[in-house]
Chains A and B, each alone.
Chain A
Amino acid sequence: MGASQKRKKEKQLDFKKPKLKVGKAKAKPENFTDTSFKSKSIILNQQSLKLTAPSPSTQFTHTISLLSSKSDPQRRDALAHLTTTISSAPTHAPLTTPVSAMLPSLLPLLLDPTAAVRTNLLKLFRVLPESDIQDHVAQLLPYLRAGMTHLAPDVRVSAVEVLSWLVGVAGGEVVACAGGWVKTLNCFLSVLGWHVEGGSKWTSVSTSSTSTSSSTTASSSAGGARGSFGKAGSKGRPQVKVLTVLAEFLQAGIGSVSESEAEAIESESGGGGGGSFPIMQLPAQMIPQTAAPYIHLNLFGKPRDEEGEMYETREDRYRVFEGRFLGAVEKGVEGARQEGGEVGRASAGVRRVLIEAKT
């Protein structure tokens, strides 16, 4: 009895108003915790007291480490610093850090949310030595593809820009490396919104008429030519940019062989054929020019499917392109042409490549 009475009183106590008295400090609440403390001295964290400035190479590696910083400006500034360092160095001298060591920290920045970081990244890529890039195309492409299908339109556009640069630098490698042809084309179609309904050919034939109409209506209604989720990029006309890059990409993949290249092949085969008797195929016996000459054998990786396969010759690539993408691309180009304006003009470039490829 006594205990319950006490408890009842305690319960009622909660609703009683505490009395305040004039001239006295307000009573501390029951759950007050005293957090004040005293200290005899203030200790600062360690300071670097080096007299000599860090060497350029240590500064360079430090800047690379800053690339994964949390703050946007720091990442941007680090990139800019790297760019100036590399571009100001004499061209014949090797980089302090090889490209292969730099790439792992650079690549994630392709998907960086901040636009300034991405533009600076492209600038940095431009000053990197071209020959070094060619060996790392396979490493770069997954990030590029991820960027091209990114949910944020800005990221998509900048990824396309980087791809444009990459095609310019190492077009052959881009289209020939594993997954570089089919997967990248898939991404292009997805960026442009040109996908044919359904994966198989059969359904694509049956629904072609409806999909054409829907795609044209969509392109006419929406400015960016896609009735899609997310706002259009802030950079004006992404469609135009994508179309031009697609043209470049197709040109690299299935475009007609230019004069100089044809000559080079001619001379190569001629040289092989014309070799004196014991050395019939000289290029096959020489030390290979590329970094990974036997990559196409896929000795250590997993078995590849159709999408991830390497398509090394133009014929291969055209065969796959004709089978899977030609219809969709033609339809898309047609739609873009009807739209006219800048987009129409950009689509003309693609059309030209297609026509050349067909012949």
Chain B
Amino acid sequence: MVKRKLGALEKVEADLPNLQHKLRKDPKSYIEDFRAQHYQYESHREIFMTAPSSATDTGIISLRDLIDFIAHVADCYPDITKDFGQQLMDMLTQHHLLLEPELREKIVGSLVLLRKKDLLDSATLLQTLFPILISTPSKTLRALIFQKILMDLRTANAKTINHKLNRIMQTVLYNLVTSDRTSSKGLWAIKLTRELWKRQIWTDAKTVEVMKEASLSVNEKVIVGGVRFFLGGDKEREEMEEESSDDEAVDLGRVKHQIGINKKTKKKARVIQRAKATVQKRERKKSQPHPLNFSALHLLHDPQGFAESLFSKHLQSTKSKLNLEQKLMVLQLVTRLVGLHKLHIMHLYSYFQKFLTPRQPSVTSFLASLAQASHDLVPPDDLEPLVLKIANEFVSEASSSEVATAGLNAIREICVRQPLAMDETLLQDLVMYRKSKDKGVVMAARGLLGLYRDINPEMLKRRDRGKEASMGIQHGEKKEKRFAAQEVGGIEGLELLEQWKEEERKRKRAEKGLPSDAEDDEEEDEEDENDWAAWNVEDDEDSDDSGGWVDVHSDAEIDFSDSDNEGGPRPAKKAKQGDEEPQTAESKPDPKKPSIATTRILTPADLAKLQELRQEAAVNALVPGPKRRGQTLEARHKEDPLTAAEIEGLAALSAGKSTREERIAHAKEGKTDRSEHKSITAKRKERKEQEGKSTTNKEKARKKNFLMTLGKAKSKGKRSLVETRNVLRAHQDRQKRGGKRGNKGN
């Protein structure tokens, strides 16, 4: 017989994992063994500390194994191992440069393990790891520590927000960024902050403050990191949220069904449990109040000061070492701040002056930034020369079509934000470009025209104004907006609700056989009554179902509501009763008419309906089809940045810059998926085939080779009567049994 070969560990039974297992089961009985191993660790540590660089692997059990072992069972013997964490931290902080990589990783891992077992608090752990993160030259260690720090912060904030720890960590990061502005170590602060921001663990002003300091740093990398955060951090966060919400789509019904069919095993049971847990979790998440997520730009304490110092430090000063791309990024941030918070920076507009030539590299970004920087509180005197310069430099017959498009688009974007920046003759001049041959230029010029038809048609020539605008001028509706005039606020989508109510009423009247336009008080009040009855959202019952009861109630209510109406007659009624008013004006919500919100209290049911209508409108806006003019302007959110691509307009599309895939995607944008239109049988068949299942007997018979059936068909004709009888009988029998093998159940 061959002698079995023994491994070194087997020979001596130095089996730490085995001991660990036993210790965990019964810590009291094995305390002596643990103590021995602790002494062992102490001796090894002593050996190591005398010569940390010569970390030879001593025998079969190394220090690494011992550290691992003790870290795993430390929670069983807290009094023996009370110094263990501190010792590990000392070892790591003092010798992290000399330690061999494996041991180093093990120490970091063990520290995190101790933290998980609550033998170490998060603050201590982070204060140990963070200095190493920023000082160590080893890339792997940095990656490891970064991951561990992130994980620790996430777990610390998992159940409730750990404000204390967050504050400590944010202070550390803030100090790191502010202490030495020339070093690139601030990059770690940025990386960490951005990651935590993305995961919505840190969402407060202090975080933004760290990034603000980072973007005011001297080191280019740190500056860019900070600026990038402000420009893209929120978008990243939104994407992350969407991703996490729809990643694991569990079909509980399907899982349950499968477990009914297949063999019941523990694993299957676990699967269904997990599916249930995820579904529950998602339900809980749905019912949770949505967290208030202010964007980073809104959380800034002093946007004016920040924007000013960014501008003077990185853009205006001749000493700044940023290259064009980085400068553009900073400029983008500054202009976004200016546009969003309606700030005013003295030299910002004159700064643009020298960049606005077609020869300037990435001039469209400059144009986009300029448009972003203009808002209705900017004095028109500041913007007028810039608009003029753009018109002179970009928009001329001699310049190429792309250039003209970009110029026109930029002018339009500026004028959307500050209409007073435009001068009448210039506008009339620019509008003439809609007769150009190039499509991009035409579209851009039309955009400008449409804009001024909307906001100030008087500046246009008479024949350019269009029908609606001319009528508006006649009625005196369209008036030039004065500088810094504020619009009256309202509830978003209220006109939708009003319209909906109107339609509902008409429908009900039609049901009852009344003329849709006729009006009487009782009807109105009953409806009003219905509204109050449906105070709650869930309350869906119609008052018509319980006729008598409501009648009495509504009678009692009449007086009350009449007296209520005496003070101020319902404006909607007045509008209806007035016969002189044109019908068209009624169908469109009149902005001057006092809205529904001023005459009545909106019930929760109303608000729910309002929300629904708003969503519907948003969806409708996305559906392709004839679009109203200027919708794209409305659709864009105020916070969204203006990009260079928007300035380039059609030129970007036609210039062949987009790849084939992009063009295909663009063409497909609104179309529904073609493959969805199939018969149910075809779909089922496809699915079956995909799952690798077999076909039915019928299908097999249909597909059977003709030659194979031939023999049977031939012999069929030659059968004797007895044979035929037997065959028929056999067939009948088989049918009763339920197939060849029979149905076992019957």
- Measured CB to CB, the residues of A under 8 A from B are 8, 68, 104, 108, 110-113, 139, 142-143, 145-146, 148-155, 179, 183, 186-187, 190-191, 193, 195, 197, 199, 226-231
Contact = CB atoms under 8 A, between A and B. Distances in A.
Interface stretch (B36-44, B289-297, B653-661): B36-44
A68 B56 CA distance: 10
A8 B61 CA distance: 55
Given A108-B58, A111-B58, A113-B59, A149 B32 contact: no
Given A151-B19, A228-B32, A113 B14 contact: yes
Contacts of B35: 190, 195
Contacts of A151: 12-16, 19, 36-37, 40, 61
A292 to B, nearest CB: 14
A149 B13 contact: no
A193 B14 CA distance: 18
A189 B11 CA distance: 25
A140 to B, nearest CB: 11
Contacts of B11: 113
Given A104-B54, A229-B22, A112 B40 contact: no
A146 B47 contact: yes
B32 A190 contact: yes
Contacts of B15: 151
Given A151-B12, A151-B36, 19 more contacts: A104-B54, A111-B58, A111-B60, A112-B59, A113-B9, A143-B58, A145-B43, A146-B47, A150-B14, A150-B59, A150-B61, A154-B12, A155-B12, A186-B39, A187-B39, A195-B32, A199-B79, A199-B80, A230-B19
A186 B59 CA distance: 22
Interface string B19-45: 100100000011111011101101110
Contact of B58 (A146, A186, A227): A146
B42 to A, nearest CB: 8
A222 to B, nearest CB: 12
A146 B11 CA distance: 19
Nearest to A150: B40
Contacts of A199: 79-80
Contacts of A148: 39
Majority secondary structure, B binding face: helix
B13 A231 contact: yes
Interface residues of B, number: 37
A154 B11 CA distance: 10
Interface string B489-526: 00000000000000000000000000000000000000
Interface string B212-229: 000000000000000000
Contacts of A154: 12
21 contacts: A104-B51, A108-B56, A113-B8, A113-B14, A113-B60, A143-B43, A146-B44, A149-B43, A151-B37, A152-B14, A152-B60, A153-B13, A154-B12, A183-B39, A186-B39, A226-B32, A227-B29, A228-B32, A228-B33, A230-B13, A231-B13
Nearest to B23: A229
Contacts of B16: 151
Closest 5 CB pairs of A and B: A111-B59, A152-B12, A146-B43, A151-B14, A149-B39
A186 B519 CA distance: 102
B46 interface: yes
A148 B35 CA distance: 12
A146 B46 CA distance: 10
B40 A229 contact: no
Please indicate which of the listed interface residues B19, B35, B43, B44 has the most CB atoms of chain A within 10 Å of its own CB: B43
A145 B13 contact: no
A87 B40 CA distance: 33
A149 B42 CA distance: 10
A154 B9 CA distance: 12
A138 B224 CA distance: 56
Contacts of A110: 59
Contact of B39 (A143, A145, A155): A145
B12 A113 contact: yes
Contacts of B13: 151-153, 230-231
Interface in B409-451: none
A193 B60 CA distance: 23
A155 B12 CA distance: 8
A145 B44 CA distance: 9
Nearest to A198: B79
Contacts of B80: 199
A262 to B, nearest CB: 34
A174 B682 CA distance: 89
A269 B40 CA distance: 41
Nearest to A231: B13
A142 B12 contact: no
A111 B61 contact: yes
Given A113-B60, A190-B36, A195-B32, A142 B46 contact: yes
A8 B32 CA distance: 65
A11 to B, nearest CB: 9
B609 to A, nearest CB: 46
A104 B51 CA distance: 10
Nearest to B43: A146
A184 to B, nearest CB: 10
Interface in B550-569: none
Interface centre among B11, B36, B61 (most CB of A within 10 A): B36
Nearest to A186: B39
A187 B37 CA distance: 10
Contacts of A104: 51, 54
B685 to A, nearest CB: 13
Contacts of A191: 36
Contact of B37 (A8, A149, A153): A149
Nearest to A227: B29
B12 A149 contact: no
Interface string B606-628: 00000000000000000000000
Contacts of A179: 46
B570 to A, nearest CB: 62
B30 A229 contact: yes
Contacts of A155: 12, 14, 59
Given A108-B58, A151-B16, A152-B12, A142 B43 contact: yes
B39 A190 contact: yes
B593 to A, nearest CB: 58
A231 B15 CA distance: 11
A308 to B, nearest CB: 8
A8 B40 CA distance: 63
A10 to B, nearest CB: 14
A148 B37 CA distance: 10
Nearest to B46: A142
A311 to B, nearest CB: 17
Contacts of B43: 142-143, 145-146, 149, 183
B34 to A, nearest CB: 10
B61 A149 contact: no
A199 B355 CA distance: 78
Contacts of B37: 149, 151
A20 to B, nearest CB: 26
Nearest to A193: B32
Contacts of B58: 108, 111, 143, 146
Residue in A68, A113, A153, A227 whose Cβ sees the most chain B Cβ within 10 Å = A113
A100 B508 CA distance: 106
Interface in B317-374: none
A314 B9 CA distance: 41
A186 B22 CA distance: 23
Nearest to B44: A146
B50 to A, nearest CB: 8
B444 to A, nearest CB: 41
Nearest to B63: A146
Contacts of A186: 39
Nearest to A302: B49
Q: Which of A148, A151, A199, A230 has the most CB of B within 10 A?
A: A151
Nearest to A112: B59
A142 B47 contact: yes
Contacts of A230: 13-14, 19, 33
